[in-house]
């Protein structure tokens, strides 16, 4: 092939081979660019979607924002018939139900994470871990429906009277209502939802703690609990906090199941056993039958509040997670 430089002496077959090679090269360049282009397009589309979501929600809320301003956040009257709207009692209900769910759920979930990572025999772990994750797969509407028909009567008939009897001197455990629809029931449902999220992330965190450090602590005479308390928990604490924040974000934003069991009350009450409502649940309950444009816009305003809180908790979790390097609770 020493004559390759001068095409005139090439056989026709070789010449067509070179030409097809050139065509192929051209095709490859187009192919590479196209693939890059559509991948970039898809990625940009995601970013645009997030921005658009923010824009749409704020846009829908703008009449209410310009009419009520920030006073909306503290005003506790919500009377669509009189055109009066304020998010105060809903923010209260959201904060209380989510905080209680996290208070109850996080210790349970972290314990499950510890059990699955350090205690469970291999065979048991392979069964229990997917079962706990399956709890997260149950649709919220079905969990809420179960909450209405099974959990709420039990809570109202057994749990609340018992707590009221034992701890009734604390105002949050007031007298039970006639139905089981209460902030307490909603918190229990939310607990069921946040546990699998926090549990599976914290299990992964605990599994990543180096074994020689734990073995070292054991060799120095630490009991199993002391290893957990002294080595495992301190070294994973930021990740556990991030996991709890993700759980909190989930609890704050859950609309359907809460709407089903919380009873749609509009007052701020000390007792957990009274009805209440959350931002998300109010949107779900009232949006389809919204009376006026201002009513709709106020519901959008609730969405703005929810969006800000939700984004904040996710951003903090992401920020901690990035510094701490763990994989957020996405299906892996």
User: Pseudo-torsion of CA 45, 50, 53, 54, nearest 10°?
Assistant: -140
Q: Which of 141, 144, 120 is nearest to 132 (CA)?
A: 120
Cα–Cα distance, 216 to 288 (Å, whole number): 60
| Residue 84: strand pairing partners | 79
CA atoms within 13 A on the CB side of 330: 6
Q: Which is nearer to another protein, 144 or 174 (CB)?
A: 144
Q: Is 34 in the site for another protein (CB under 8 A)?
A: yes
Q: Is 215 in the site for another protein (CB under 8 A)?
A: no
C-alpha pair distances (Å), 155 with each of 128, 177, 261: 27, 10, 11
Q: Which is nearer to another protein, 227 or 272 (CB)?
A: 227
Cα–Cα distance, 213 to 254 (Å, whole number): 39
**CA dihedral over 211, 215, 216, 218, signed as positive or negative:** positive
Which two tokens mark 124?
């048991």
Q: Is 93 in the site for another protein (CB under 8 A)?
A: no
Q: Which stretch binds another protein (CB under 8 A): 3-11, 66-74, 96-104, 147-155?
A: 147-155
Q: Which stretch binds another protein (CB under 8 A): 3-11, 12-20, 23-31, 81-89?
A: 23-31
Q: Which is nearer to another protein, 101 or 132 (CB)?
A: 132
Q: Is 40 in the site for another protein (CB under 8 A)?
A: yes
Q: Which is nearer to another protein, 96 or 194 (CB)?
A: 194
Q: How far is the CB of 212 from another protein (least distance, A)?
A: 20
Q: How far is the CB of 13 from another protein (least distance, A)?
A: 21
Are the beta carbons of 325 and 196 closer than 8 angstroms?
A: no
Task: State which of residues 223, 270, 291, 292 lies at the interface with another protein (CB under 8 A).
Answer: 223
Task: State which of residues 141, 170, 175, 270 lies at the interface with another protein (CB under 8 A).
Answer: 141
Q: How far is the CB of 27 from another protein (least distance, A)?
A: 9
Q: Is 155 in the site for another protein (CB under 8 A)?
A: no
Q: Which is nearer to another protein, 202 or 271 (CB)?
A: 202
Contact partners, residue 9, CB within 8 Å, separation at least 6:
3
Task: State which of residues 4, 18, 103, 150 lies at the interface with another protein (CB under 8 A).
Answer: 150
Cα–Cα distance, 194 to 244 (Å, whole number): 8
Q: Is 324 in the site for another protein (CB under 8 A)?
A: no
Q: Is 306 in the site for another protein (CB under 8 A)?
A: yes
Q: Which of 105, 103, 107, 98 is nearest to 233 (CA)?
A: 107
Q: How far is the CB of 22 from another protein (least distance, A)?
A: 14
Applying the rule CB under 8 A, the residues between 42 and 61 that interact with another protein are 42-43, 45-47, 49-50, 52-53, 56-57, 59-60
Q: Is 239 in the site for another protein (CB under 8 A)?
A: no
Q: Is 293 in the site for another protein (CB under 8 A)?
A: no
3-state SS record for 23-51: HHHHHHHHHHHHHHHHHHHHHHHHHHHHH
Task: Could you list the beta-strand ranges (E) of the chain.
Answer: none
Q: Is 242 in the site for another protein (CB under 8 A)?
A: no
Q: Is 226 in the site for another protein (CB under 8 A)?
A: yes
Q: Is 18 in the site for another protein (CB under 8 A)?
A: no
- Residue holding tokens 């029931």? 185
């Amino acid at each position: 092939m020493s004559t390759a430089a001068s095409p005139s002496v090439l056989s026709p077959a070789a010449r067509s081979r070179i030409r097809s090679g050139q065509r192929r090269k051209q095709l490859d360049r187009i192919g590479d660019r196209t693939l890059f282009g559509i991948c970039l397009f898809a990625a940009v589309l995601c970013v645009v979607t997030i921005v658009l979501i923010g824009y749409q929600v704020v846009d829908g809320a703008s009449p209410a924002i310009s009419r009520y301003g920030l006073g909306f956040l503290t005003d506790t009257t919500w009377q669509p018939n009189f055109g009066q709207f304020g998010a105060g009692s809903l923010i209260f209900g959201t904060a209380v139900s989510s905080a209680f769910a996290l208070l109850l759920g996080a210790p349970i979930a972290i314990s499950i994470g510890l059990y699955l990572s350090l205690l469970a025999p291999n065979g048991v772990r392979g069964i229990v871990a997917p079962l706990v994750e399956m709890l997260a797969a149950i649709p919220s509407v079905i969990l809420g429906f179960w909450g209405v028909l099974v959990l709420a009567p039990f809570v109202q008939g057994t749990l609340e009277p018992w707590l009221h009897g034992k701890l009734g001197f604390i105002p949050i455990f007031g007298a039970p209502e006639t139905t089981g629809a209460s902030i307490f029931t909603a918190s229990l449902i939310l607990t069921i939802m946040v546990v699998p999220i926090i549990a599976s992330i914290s299990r992964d965190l605990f599994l990543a703690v180096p074994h020689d450090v734990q073995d070292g602590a054991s060799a120095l005479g630490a009991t199993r609990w002391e290893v957990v308390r002294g080595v495992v928990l301190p070294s994973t604490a930021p990740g556990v906090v991030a996991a709890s924040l993700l759980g909190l974000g989930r609890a704050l934003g859950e609309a359907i199941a809460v709407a089903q069991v919380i009873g749609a009350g509009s007052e701020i009450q000390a007792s957990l056993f009274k009805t209440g409502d959350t931002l998300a649940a109010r949107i779900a309950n009232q949006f389809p039958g919204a009376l006026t444009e201002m009513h709709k816009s106020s519901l959008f305003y609730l969405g703005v509040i929810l969006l800000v809180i939700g984004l904040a908790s996710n951003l903090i979790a992401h920020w901690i997670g990035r510094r701490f390097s763990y994989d957020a609770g996405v299906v892996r």
